[in-house]
Amino acid sequence: MSGSRSTFNANLAVGYYFTQHDYAPIIGDLVCYLAPNYIQAIDNRAPSSTATVSLAPGFRTHPGLDWYLLGSVDVPVTRPQPYDYLVQGALMKVW
């Protein structure tokens, strides 16, 4: 892809389990978390002095039958902001 950059990405999520795995459909294994993210360009194709730091509060839950529902909102906290926010979601099947 034209304009792509090589970057170093780091993140660490810290969360809390509110319910047990088999507690109830939809809210079983409910986890809420906060994930700080760090992105820094590492190539020499343009200035790399700008790092992006963002915070992503999110959740994960187990609706049942080995499916998981995940979601978060990624909000940058440094300037310049490459975006206002990113809403992310996933539906995952465990095999």
Q: Roughly how many angstroms between the first and final C-alpha of the chain, as a whole number?
A: 33
* Per-residue model confidence as pLDDT tens digits over 20-41: 988 888 888 999 999 999 999 8
Residue 18: name the closest of 9, 8, 10, 28 by CA. 28
Q: What pTM was estimated for this model as a whole?
A: 0.81
* Per-residue model confidence as pLDDT tens digits over 43-89: 877 766 678 999 999 999 999 899 999 999 999 999 888 899 999 99
Q: Buried (b) or exposed (e) across 14-41, using 16+ Cβ within 10 A?
A: eeeeeeeeeeeeeebbbbebebebebeb
